[in-house]
Amino acid sequence: MRKTFSVIMLIIGTVIGSGFASGKEISVFFSRFGNVSYFFIAITFFLFWGIIYFFLSFGNDRLLKLTSSKIFSFLCIIISLIFTSSMFAGAVNIYGDSHFIKILISLILIIICCYVSRRGVPFLEKLNVFLIPSTLICMAIVLFSNVNHYECSIVGQNAFAGLFFTLLYSALNFSISGVVIAKSGSLLSKKQKVWASFLSSFTLSCFLMLTNFVILSNPECMEFDMPLISLSNGFSFVLIRFVVFSGCITTLFSLVFTTSETLKKFNFKQNLIYFVSILFPVFVSVLGFGHIISLLYPFASVLGVIFFLSMFLSSDLQHNSS
């Protein structure tokens, strides 16, 4: 049970990044479609459940098969660097009220990322078991404190486009975090994998639903880079900043580990791995959190679809799920 719980927290930690925690991803991929977005989130739950179980059960074998391809590895690196850049931008800006604080936070994160690059999944599991439960509690408090009289004023767009965005969103969240999830499932039994995939998917979907409800209740917040922060004040404002920062760093560390593992297959020296997986995204993060999500995330989502097609189409596997 303890192992299953740590895997669930690790899965949630890889998904609940700055875009999820701030509400920006939800507004871009769901809320823009109005009331029909709830139906799309329900579909997302089943997609999450199936994808997470797939990675826990078969991910390691298929990743070993696919990462022998340099083209596939390069694809993984591009997706990971886009996400890593947005996590850096979100984490630095959330408490970066001055240039000195921004530089200080950046340096601290860079140092920890270097440590994560070497230690990997065991460190990530310990970190997420500590951070994620408190993050979810704080996020729930923030969301319930911003629940107003519901009156959706957004005219739903083309439903087929919404379904397409739903598929893109699933690809977006697991195209790279799937590497970490696959490694975490190696010590779980088949029953534990079912429960871990179900409970993590259910938890994430509940927060998607509630966040979507809050955004549709306050549609004016959609124009901001971080919708939930724009709605919060007082104690709620303190909590949501912690939520976004926690979401940023848990996802950031997972992404850095993923990129580092992929770069090792190219026989990169450790210093070059640090530069590509950590310092390069820091430079890209200067573009700003909102611009990265609005401009680069859709592109990363398309690459994520290619990633999944490659994963599902790979064959000749031998897997023991017991």
Residue with the larger pLDDT of the pair 1 and 311: 1
pLDDT at position 204, please?
A: 94
Distance, CA of 248 to CA of 257 (rounded, Å)? 14
Indicate if the pLDDT at residue 228 is higher than 50: yes
Indicate if the pLDDT at residue 205 is higher than 90: yes
Lowest mean pLDDT across 155-169, 233-247, 263-277: 155-169
pLDDT at position 48, please?
A: 93
Domain residue ranges of the chain, discontinuous segments joined by +: 2-150+158-311
Indicate if the pLDDT at residue 270 is higher than 60: yes
With bands split at pLDDT 50, 70 and 90, how would you rate the model's confidence at 69?
low
For residues 132-145, give the mean pLDDT.
92
With bands split at pLDDT 50, 70 and 90, how would you rate the model's confidence at 105?
confident
Indicate if the pLDDT at residue 4 is higher than 60: yes
242-246 contact pairs (CB < 8 A, 24+): 242/135, 242/138, 243/21, 243/135, 243/138, 243/139, 243/142, 244/18, 244/21, 244/22, 244/90, 244/94, 245/90, 245/91, 245/94, 245/95, 246/21, 246/131, 246/132, 246/134, 246/135
pLDDT at position 41, please?
A: 94
Beta strands in the chain (DSSP E): none
CATH code that applies to domain 2-150+158-311: 1.20.1740.10
In tens, the pLDDT along 75-86 reads 778 888 888 888
Total length of the chain: 322
Lowest mean pLDDT across 60-64, 81-85, 239-243, 313-317: 313-317
